[in-house]
Structure 1
Amino acid sequence: MLRTTKTSLTALAVALAAPAFIAAPAHAQDAAAQEVAPLEDLVDQVAIPYEEFQLENGLTVIVHEDRKAPIVGVAVWYNVGSKDEPKGQTGFAHLFEHLMFNGSENAPNDYFQYLQEMGATDYNGTTNFDRTNYFQTVPTGAIERALWLESDRMGYLLGAVTQEKLDNQRGVVQNEKRQGDNQPGGLVFYEIIKTLYPEGHPYDHNVIGSMADLDAASMQDVRDWFTNKYGPNNATLVLAGDISAEEARPLAEKYFGDIARGPVNNPAQAEVPQLKEDVRKIMQDQVAATQISKYWSVPGITSEDLTALSVGASILGGLASSRLDNILVRDEQLAVGVSAGNYAFQRVGILNLGATVKPGVDPEVVETRLNEIIAQYIAEGPTEDEVRRAATADLAGTIRGLEQVGGFGGKAVTLAQGKVLAGDPGFFDRQLEVLASLTPADVQAAMQKWMTKPSMTLVLQPGERTGEYEEAASVAADTDEGDAEPASNEITVTKVRPAPEISALAELDFPDVTQATLSNGITVHYAQRDAVPVTRVALSFDAGSAADPVDMRGLEGMTLALMDEGTTSLTSQEIAEAKERLGAVIYSGGGSDRSSFTLTAMSANLSPSLDLMTDIVRNPAFNQSELERVRTQTITGIQQSLKSPAGIASYVATPLIYGENNPYGGSATEESVSSITRDDLIEFKQTWLRPDNAEIFVVSDMALADVMPELEAAFGNWQAPATAKGTKTFGSLAARPESARVVLVNRPNSPQSFILGGLMTDTDPADPKIIDLYNANNALGGNFLARLNMNLRESKGWSYGVRGGPRVNENTVAYYVQAPVQADRTGDALAELIREVGEFVTTSGVTDEELTRIVNAEIRELPGQYETSGAVLGAMQSNVLYGRPMTYQETLADKYRAQTRESLDAAARAAIDPDQFTWVIVGDAEQVGPQLEALGLPVETIEVE
């Protein structure tokens, strides 16, 4: 359950934040010293009671009952991952995960179709070194359909796997590999694995595998893999949510009980390998600043050292208050970012820490200091306060995650992970007990034991990429080998298993929203949710990046960022420590139209958490030294974003579509951020981040009567300054092109091209009928089953994923399509995108089948969409932004039922004109340019600067 991560520099870019100025109440000054709930008390609040049983065929079933909403999280975990792959079949566990979504004997269509029919949310499948899993959250009335679907692919898959499907998914996976490789630093992990794990070690290859092995995967391999790895006695089924063990047992027997046992996969054993001596490697890639990283091979999740190593990494470089942050980033300002994490797998783990060098600083100096700090930390050990803060921050994250029954990190995943990887569904509980009792001596001992062993240091420098891409060979139509049975594209059914009916489904019960007012006039919108002991508070200002002057883009983001970097009473270090001590998260952001501060607090610590939030919002110091540090971080982040294909495409396309003088039409640049002064920050705060421009949104397990006094103490006496409140100016949009155009941005040596197309629509963001455009787009580009994705991914295998959809702001609606595609198919892919969009808005609109599927899905997904308090909080803010009533979500089902093919077609045709698209393509111009010539569109080629 322990996670130690930090946002990397590549994500820093323009995602900065927002706040406000003026004297705060006296108690806010003492936020860092407030008494907090003991860690042991917080641990006692975490409980996932479950029942476990086993079918005669060996399938393990675990059930957790949670009646908070009419939904059930369904997770099936198979005890097989990439570490179990034989030589010559790397990547096959992951390839097979893809095939498991391509239909079974009684459900032969794409599985996403069946998932949408059920109204599933939070659905996906993943593969890692140790396991393969499939999960979805479904309405209670669809639980039998979900179990039928999962059991059909567990027991009756092979008759539906055809050569055509194998070849297609092979291409999709190879494009997934290209997409990852094409990112800055995309080849680094291959080098890490190769160095830490010797050839023949189960963890000696990347999960996605090699192109050559994927090319060689045959139909016989598929048959063997399914037969040997996917039996019920090698699987665990977890049901979490609106179901009891008494209800679950007969259903599990009904759908899984007749599946025959298979061989049991005994997961590959693996020692923790150790380097004989320190290894230092240098690589180059398209990065904005040098990155120095260190790696140690450490034990896996069942190790007694797991918790100590994870907490130790947090203290060293994972927390915002970490030692590396405090020394390298804040005090000595040698780095613009640091990170640390203990990434534990079943048998082994990787302990990693690193720093991104501040531009202009000698990387050798940073590397020397990095090693000195590590050595000092190991020698001295952490303090008691550091250990408590790290443990509290981790526990608070666990509690927040357990609000979900399913998804990537909810209760079902927690129970399944413990059972499959540690042999105990309650493994999380044991780990939390260790966390609550951890001592500095425990952490120091673990660090001394493992971090004094030889390590790998990898220096990633800006420059031409080191290493070459591995490319796929041409795949023959039939890759069967030897005397294996000839491949067939016919589906055979070995046992007919009719799909059960979907029972009556509950309508969405969106929580009642109560409106109240603070004594200074700030409106409070409140809703109660009691699934977890957490309170979420959003303080929202009518500002956003649209409030930036055109010649000073990034001002809002810089202002928000600086507000968290020191107040008149607390330093940035003290703020970070106070958050961790409280288990609180306070972040700023909000997007184009709003600037907001959002607090997520343990309800037991709400009062001191609000004190801290109040101090940040009302008393920022805007210290000049902090301004210069954040400025450097921001500029480096901007430079890094312009190294990624998606970042380049967005930077080029945005002003072409909106107009460079429109508030939505630009991005922060090095020049604009460099021009911002401390006075600009103060003026922005005084103008925009003020009580007469604010609203508060709250979702809590606490009653409104208990929350209001806390909000009143924090914000009720906050008075607006005498200066005028800000007003936004929305100038004219960019002139729309008379015909579609293409801008090719040359990015040499790119195995993929990134296609981004967009146009401005005449759609009114506040028009209630905008949902017709949303659902029309669900047929064209809005989800996995939409035409664009099904064509370029599922039919042709040229892309890992294609999406399109409206980008809605308070004052505009644009329409975008994005498609990363293999480089040698760029021209063909663009031609297909243009054809699909053109036909959709002229001759081939929404079909009856699409209408039924989309409307049913939207209605049935509603309870799952608003399962969490965070989702409710976001919906409340959106309702205010677009002038909708707080009952809006409960009216959606009837609105969807009233939709017709004609209403959806009309919305799409009014919004989307294929002749007004601007297509930006980021790729290797030498390879892509000739492909575009045949399209007959004007092409402008530009170089990346």
Structure 2
Amino acid sequence: MKKLLLICLAISMALTSQSQTKLIEKVTKTGDELVIPYEKYELANGLTLIIHEDHSDPLVHVDVTYHVGSAREELNKSGFAHFFEHMMFQGSDHVADEEHFKIVTESGGTLNGTTNRDRTNYFETVPSNQLETMLWLEADRMGFFLDAVTTKKFEVQRATVKNEKGQGVLNAPYGMWNEKTIAAVYPYGHPYSWSTIGLLEDLDRANLEDLKNFFLRWYGPNNASLTVGGDVDPKKVITLVEKYFGSIPRGPEVAKMKLDAPVIPADRYISHVDNNIRFPALMFTYPTVPNMHPDEAALDCLSEILGTGQSSYFFKKFVLTQKAIQASVFHPAAELSGEFTMFVLPYPGQTLADFETAMRQILDEFAKNGVSEDDLKKFKANQESNTINGLASVSGKVSQLSRYQYAFGNPNLIKKDLQRYLDITADDVMRVFNKYIYNKPGVILSYLPNAETAPAKPDNFEKPTSGVSAFPKTDYTGLNYKKPTNEPFDRSKRPVSGPSPLVKVPEFWETKFDNGIKVIGTKSNEIPTVAIQLTLVGGHKFDAADPKKSGLAQITASMMDESTQNYSAEAMQEELRKIGSSINIYANRTSTVVSINTLKKNLDKTLQLAEEKLLRPGFQQIDFDRVIKQQMEGIKASQQDPSAIAGQVFDRLLYGDEHIYSVPTSGIEETVANITLDDVKAFYNKYYSPNLGELVIVGDVDQKDILPKLGFLKSWPNKKVAIPTLPPAKPGDKTKIYLVDKPNAPQSQIRVGYMTDLKYDATGDYFKSYLMNYPLGGAFNSRINLNLREDKGWTYGAGAYFSSTEDPGPYQAYAGVLATATDSAVVEFMKEITDYREKGITDDELAFMRNSVGQRDARSYETPGQKAGFLRTIAHYNLDKSYVDQQTKIINTISKDEINKLAKKYLDDDSIYILVVGDGATNREKLEQLGYEVVELDAKGDVIDKNSIKVDK
């Protein structure tokens, strides 16, 4: 009896605490007003709960945002907020290490976490029956994290974060520009003076005690907001949140941070050398205002007038005149401050000093010319379009609610946020221009490809590395770890999910125009937009007719985005920007794509402009000269980017020089140099034909309404073009290592793979091989990623995949790894592929694959883009929508024996290309010792040493 009374008392206490959940506000939507409906609550422990109910898809998106980012870090301990984000995926009291990703993935969901200066968030999108499991997971790491932390996990994730910086910053072109700039913009010790990913020496300085203190200080429920959106019942959400989060103790109070804007007394000149780049860069940065400051919107407008689109000052001054490959202006703003940046990437052979003069001249010209009504009209149309398109998914709506809550304490800001842009006047823009930019001191960064290139001016500023910081430190003393106790349920038991929601494949209609265009469409009226994609099959394949002019398909597509017969390129873009629409034309290996996106109210005007671009291209010599130069210089630049080198060289190895796919879609220097404007005209006249067309229409429009608007496509003359048949790829050789030397690279890019004879199919061996590979290289919890990232800490991410179209494609594994682990990573790749081939899938892996892939359909048709991809697959491969049911049956019935047979059949372990792009001096000898022949190549894939070193196996 006494035990029963104690249990009842515990339940009563829990209910009493949870009943203190308060409704703060309820926002509803009436008519077509711009609002995201929600209910907002606050739990007794301070946790903010926001619920957005949306039954349009059987999905739920869960976001937990902690109001802590790199701005809360200590001087000399930068990067800790981001490091901590990684640690939060490493298990808690009731969730094992590496289980978080596994549970979400096998629930048919996707997940991630991100960190910026001001906040850290963790989020999942899953079928709606998995809501309780997601809340259980998030609550467990909020309330039960620290005891699961180990030194080993800490060190592995420290290595992973360092590899992330190596891949995304140190080994990436222009990767250091932000770190260098903000260190000069902000004073010593300012929390925005270091990058979110942090300094390597600071990451090395961190210890386990720092991690624990960081959690205790910032990760309390009263410094967090939980936003749940999608196919949910708000009452049930409240009950579950009270159950899992209600007993987590309140953390220390967190005061909102507010700092004075940085002041730069005089221009600060700095420089940085990066051997991953071809083009030098010149960047001006001025300190500005925080998010939602009254001047932020006008500064955003100013940045667009100066540096966005073909009518912008920067495009006309630098790109149109062929002085630079790229030039732009942008203005990101955060919680404490913002930065207004102007940048230009000059073609080689010019001085940055001259570009500094020219950039200052632009500001003089703008001061004289001012702001036009067209400038304002274009900017406002694009703001409206971007805001509406951002609401296409439940994750997009939840993200907006969450952002407004953590930054401003008010989720209901989307209408106000847009309205401040729509209310901008020309006087507003000129006022902020004069207040923050014109004749104001800034940071001028010269980003140099080598030490021989002269900066705009000699450096006159050096970032302080020691001294007394004027900014307050966080008090980490007296922090205690308190976990919920005496709870009326067992947290160690994972919630039981309800039945999987019924997923409806989008209803669609099909027709075919007399000239051969296949048309497929579906109505999607959640937002008032229309997306149309015309795919002309062929693309880079047609370059095979004259391989000496490879790149012609892409050049032709680029020229289609230039002048037409009745519009200059600038005038065309201006018309589109006035209505917030876009029409983009590009080519890839297998097709040329015309992508059209518009608000419904502007559909007619957008289609008129699409007709002009598609059927009346201008093909002007002046446009051609600029496009060719950009393409040629882009090719040369790619030969210094390790990741781009790896992709291009690996394709050349896989396909062999006789195959068109051995050459990038962009072409190579030798082939692009052969292309003329007449070639472009001939390519368009010969290969742009409606019989190659596959038209997908998704949006707030019915079939009966859209088809009459497409008369220009129906009347397009059929040229009856045949798709070329490509030859087989080069036969594989015995396994070899191919080494491209990238001196002093902090990382090595590794590719491991071979050609298969698999062609795309929806229900045959190609699809089944996808299922087979899923536990090996297709998921975060795959063997390859867990080995190289989670167990070894050598990489930020690794995986493997099959990739085929109607033509056979390769199987390839990939990773960017720590330079010192290059040879060991090659060994592990080979071991994992061989072990899986020989020993096969485990029972647990088979169950994981079935659950994960089998429940993914709930996420497959939510957004217009996802619907368009689904319909394009049906149109291109002539599928019936029942193929989805057939795939589901295969997933649920494929046997362990069949998967193992597929592994033996399609996982090669003898004729494999192993490509390493990394530092030759430190890796060459180690790779030779692995027992494979080592062949050295240059950045284009040509053999350097004809007598390649051979080592007996």
Length-normalised TM-score, structure 2: 0.89
Aligned counterpart for 2:558 among listed residues 556, 561, 571 = 561
Q: Deviations over 1:182-213 (max 9, x none)?
A: 11222222211210011111111111122232
Q: Deviations over 1:650-707 (max 9, x none)?
A: 1211111112221322121112112111111111112211122212111111111111
CA distance, structure 1, for counterparts of residue 571 and residue 601 of structure 2: 21
* 8 Å Cα contact 2:95-2:137 kept in structure 1: yes
* TM-aligned CA distance change 1:283 to 1:44, over 3 Å: farther
CA distance, structure 2, for counterparts of residue 321 and residue 661 of structure 1: 43
* 8 Å Cα contact 1:509-1:890 kept in structure 2: no
| 1:718 corresponding residue in structure 2 | 716
| 2:182 corresponding residue in structure 1 | 193
Aligned counterpart for 1:537 among listed residues 528, 532, 535 = 532
Which is higher, the Rg of structure 1 or of structure 2?
Answer: 2
CA distance, structure 2, for counterparts of residue 931 and residue 429 of structure 1: 60
| 1:679 corresponding residue in structure 2 | 678
Aligned counterpart for 1:157 among listed residues 142, 145, 150 = 145
| 1:22 corresponding residue in structure 2 | none
| 2:79 corresponding residue in structure 1 | 91
Structure 1: which amino acid aligns with 2:166?
A: R
Q: Secondary structure at the match of 1:526?
A: strand
Aligned counterpart for 1:126 among listed residues 114, 120, 138 = 114
Counting only pairs closer than 5 Å after superposition, residues 616-631 of structure 1 correspond to structure 2 as 616-631=613-628
| 1:343 corresponding residue in structure 2 | 332
Displacement after TM superposition at 1:339 (Å): 1.6
Counting only pairs closer than 5 Å after superposition, residues 228-247 of structure 1 correspond to structure 2 as 228-247=217-236
| 1:700 corresponding residue in structure 2 | 699
Displacement after TM superposition at 1:387 (Å): 1.4
| 1:354 corresponding residue in structure 2 | 343
Displacement after TM superposition at 1:484 (Å): 13
* TM-aligned CA distance change 1:217 to 1:374, over 3 Å: same
Q: Deviations over 1:244-282 (max 9, x none)?
A: 433322121111111110012324432210211012223
Is 1:428 the counterpart of 2:388? The answer is no
| 1:646 corresponding residue in structure 2 | 643
Displacement after TM superposition at 1:767 (Å): 6.2
CA distance, structure 2, for counterparts of residue 157 and residue 524 of structure 1: 53
| 1:884 corresponding residue in structure 2 | 879
Structure 2: which amino acid aligns with 1:672?
A: T
Counting only pairs closer than 5 Å after superposition, residues 391-410 of structure 1 correspond to structure 2 as 391-406=380-395, 410=396
Structure 2: which amino acid aligns with 1:699?
A: V
Counting only pairs closer than 5 Å after superposition, residues 305-316 of structure 1 correspond to structure 2 as 305-316=295-306
Counting only pairs closer than 5 Å after superposition, residues 210-229 of structure 1 correspond to structure 2 as 210-229=199-218
Is 1:282 the counterpart of 2:271? The answer is yes
Aligned counterpart for 1:461 among listed residues 448, 465, 488 = 448
Counting only pairs closer than 5 Å after superposition, residues 896-935 of structure 1 correspond to structure 2 as 896-935=891-930
| 2:95 corresponding residue in structure 1 | 107
C-alpha root-mean-square deviation of aligned residues, in Å? 2.3
CA distance, structure 2, for counterparts of residue 750 and residue 458 of structure 1: 23
CA distance, structure 1, for counterparts of residue 171 and residue 490 of structure 2: 44
Structure 2: which amino acid aligns with 1:720?
A: N
Structure 1: which amino acid aligns with 2:716?
A: W
CA distance, structure 2, for counterparts of residue 84 and residue 761 of structure 1: 51
Q: Deviations over 1:341-385 (max 9, x none)?
A: 111111111111111113444443333222111222244322111
Counting only pairs closer than 5 Å after superposition, residues 406-805 of structure 1 correspond to structure 2 as 406=395, 410-452=396-438, 453-463=440-450, 496-518=491-513, 520-549=515-544, 550-589=547-586, 591-667=588-664, 668-712=667-711, 714-721=712-719, 725-737=721-733, 739-766=734-761, 768-769=763-764, 770-805=766-801
Displacement after TM superposition at 1:541 (Å): 0.8
Q: Bigger shift: 516-525 or 170-179?
A: 516-525
Is 1:818 the counterpart of 2:808? The answer is no
Q: Secondary structure at the match of 1:460?
A: strand
CA distance, structure 2, for counterparts of residue 193 and residue 560 of structure 1: 38
Structure 2: which amino acid aligns with 1:451?
A: I
* TM-aligned CA distance change 1:464 to 1:513, over 3 Å: farther
CA distance, structure 2, for counterparts of residue 185 and residue 464 of structure 1: 15
CA distance, structure 1, for counterparts of residue 379 and residue 639 of structure 2: 34
CA distance, structure 1, for counterparts of residue 491 and residue 343 of structure 2: 55
Structure 1: which amino acid aligns with 2:406?
A: V
CA distance, structure 2, for counterparts of residue 181 and residue 810 of structure 1: 38
Q: Bigger shift: 439-448 or 598-607?
A: 439-448
| 1:385 corresponding residue in structure 2 | 374
* TM-aligned CA distance change 1:271 to 1:801, over 3 Å: same
Displacement after TM superposition at 1:727 (Å): 3.4
Structure 2: which amino acid aligns with 1:937?
A: Y
| 1:488 corresponding residue in structure 2 | none
* 8 Å Cα contact 1:202-1:268 kept in structure 2: no
Structure 2: which amino acid aligns with 1:615?
A: E
* 8 Å Cα contact 1:510-1:890 kept in structure 2: no
Displacement after TM superposition at 1:894 (Å): 2.1
| 1:77 corresponding residue in structure 2 | 65
Is 1:317 the counterpart of 2:313? The answer is no
Q: Secondary structure at the match of 2:332?
A: strand
CA distance, structure 2, for counterparts of residue 387 and residue 886 of structure 1: 45
Identity %: 32
Q: Which has the higher contact order (CA 8 A, sep 6+)?
A: 1
CA distance, structure 2, for counterparts of residue 513 and residue 51 of structure 1: 34
* 8 Å Cα contact 1:63-1:244 kept in structure 2: no
* TM-aligned CA distance change 1:888 to 1:531, over 3 Å: farther
Displacement after TM superposition at 1:792 (Å): 0.7
Q: Deviations over 1:275-304 (max 9, x none)?
A: 110122233323122222111111110311
Q: How many residues align?
A: 874
| 1:66 corresponding residue in structure 2 | 54
CA distance, structure 1, for counterparts of residue 256 and residue 683 of structure 2: 58
| 1:203 corresponding residue in structure 2 | 192
CA distance, structure 1, for counterparts of residue 495 and residue 339 of structure 2: 45
Displacement after TM superposition at 1:461 (Å): 2.5
* 8 Å Cα contact 2:649-2:939 kept in structure 1: no
* TM-aligned CA distance change 1:729 to 1:522, over 3 Å: closer
Unpaired runs of 5+ residues, structure 2, are 1-30, 454-458, 463-475, 480-486, 941-953
* TM-aligned CA distance change 1:535 to 1:891, over 3 Å: farther
CA distance, structure 1, for counterparts of residue 503 and residue 735 of structure 2: 42
* 8 Å Cα contact 2:537-2:723 kept in structure 1: no
Counting only pairs closer than 5 Å after superposition, residues 2-41 of structure 1 correspond to structure 2 as none
| 1:26 corresponding residue in structure 2 | none
| 2:19 corresponding residue in structure 1 | none
CA distance, structure 1, for counterparts of residue 735 and residue 785 of structure 2: 21
Q: Deviations over 1:845-882 (max 9, x none)?
A: 11111111111111212111221111111122123333
| 2:945 corresponding residue in structure 1 | none
Q: Secondary structure at the match of 1:68?
A: coil
Displacement after TM superposition at 1:496 (Å): 3.9
Q: Bigger shift: 247-256 or 848-857?
A: 247-256
Q: Secondary structure at the match of 2:445?
A: strand
| 1:167 corresponding residue in structure 2 | 155
